[in-house]
C-alpha cells in the first residue's frame, strides 16, 4: 500500500471531518457492512429546492478505512447536487483515498460510505437503489 494512501486514511481517521449529526436533517440514512456489522450513518441538509447538499455529517463505528472514507466522502459531496451524487462511482471515491490497492474485503470497507449515501439519496427521490446504481 502506498504512503499517500496511509497518510490520507490516517489523517481522516484521527481527525474526522463533518463528524456528528444534523438536527432536522432532510435525509437520515444508516447502513452496515454485512461482512463485519460496522455502520455508517449520514444526516444531510438540502437547500430550499431540495436539490443540493448544503451540509452533511456522519456517525459510525468501524475500521479506519470505513471511517476515513466516510469523512472524505462528506467533504467531497458538500455543495453537490443530487444528480451529481447519483453519477458518482466507486472509482471517484477510491481516487480520493489515494487509489489504494485493496482486496475485496477492504474494498467493501472503503465503499460502505458511498453505498450508504446513495441509499439515502435514492430513497429520498423515491427510486430503487442497487449496488450498481
Ligand atoms: Fe468493518 Fe471495515 S472491517 S467496515
Reported as a single tens digit per residue, the pLDDT across 91-127 is: 988 988 888 888 989 999 999 999 999 999 999 999 8
C-alpha–C-alpha distance, residues 133 and 122, integer Å: 9
Whether the per-residue pLDDT at 131 is higher than 80: the answer is no
Q: What is the pTM of this model?
A: 0.94
Atom of ligand 1 nearest to the CA of 37: 1
> In angstroms, rounded to a whole number, what is the distance separating the alpha carbons of residues 84 and 65?
24
Over residues 35-45, the mean pLDDT reads 96
3-125 has which CATH code? Answer: 3.90.1010.10
- The answer to whether 12 touches 67, Cβ cutoff 8 Å, is yes
pLDDT score recorded for residue 2: 63
Does residue 33 carry a pLDDT above 60? yes
- Ligand 1 lined by 62 (C-beta under 6 Å): yes
Separation in Å, CA 2 to CA 17, 102, 108: 22, 11, 19
User: At residue 44, does pLDDT exceed 80?
Assistant: yes
- Residue 101 pLDDT: 85
Q: How far is the CA of 131 from the centre of ligand 1 (A)?
A: 17
- Which residue's CA is the nearest one to ligand 1's atom 2? 109
58 C-alpha to ligand 1 centroid (Å) = 16
Domain ranges of the chain: 3-125
The residue whose CA has the least distance to atom 3 of ligand 1 is 63
Q: What is the pLDDT of residue 130?
A: 82
Distance 103 CA to ligand 1 centre (A): 12
Atom of ligand 1 nearest to the CA of 35: 1
Judge contact between 10 and 69, C-beta under 8 A. no
Question: Do the Cβ atoms of 61 and 104 come closer than 8 Å?
Answer: no
Q: Is 93 helix (H, G, I), strand (E, B) or coil?
A: helix
Instruction: Say which residue, 4 or 27, is predicted with more confidence.
Output: 27
Output the CA 130–ligand 1 centroid distance in Å.
Answer: 20
Tens digit of each residue's pLDDT (9 = 90 or more) over 46-89: 999 999 999 999 999 999 999 999 999 999 999 999 999 999 99
3-state secondary structure 15-40: CCCCECCCCCCCEEEEEECCCCCCEE
Of ligand 1's atoms, which has the minimum distance to the CA of residue 38?
A: 1
3-state secondary structure of 128: coil
Position 132 scores a pLDDT of: 72
Amino acid at each position: 500500500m502506498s504512503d499517500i494512501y496511509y497518510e490520507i486514511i490516517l489523517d481522516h481517521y484521527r481527525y474526522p471531518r463533518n463528524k456528528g449529526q444534523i438536527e432536522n436533517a432532510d435525509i437520515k440514512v444508516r447502513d452496515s457492512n454485512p461482512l463485519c456489522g460496522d455502520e455508517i450513518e449520514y444526516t444531510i441538509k438540502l437547500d430550499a429546492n431540495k436539490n443540493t447538499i448544503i451540509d452533511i455529517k456522519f456517525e459510525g463505528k468501524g475500521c479506519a478505512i470505513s471511517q476515513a472514507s466516510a469523512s472524505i466522502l462528506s467533504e467531497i459531496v458538500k455543495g453537490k447536487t443530487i444528480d451529481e451524487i447519483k453519477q458518482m462511482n466507486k472509482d471517484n471515491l477510491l481516487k480520493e483515498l489515494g487509489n489504494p490497492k485493496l482486496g475485496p474485503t477492504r474494498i467493501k470497507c472503503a465503499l460502505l460510505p458511498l453505498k450508504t449515501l446513495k441509499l439515502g439519496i435514492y430513497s429520498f427521490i423515491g427510486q430503487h437503489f442497487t449496488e450498481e446504481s
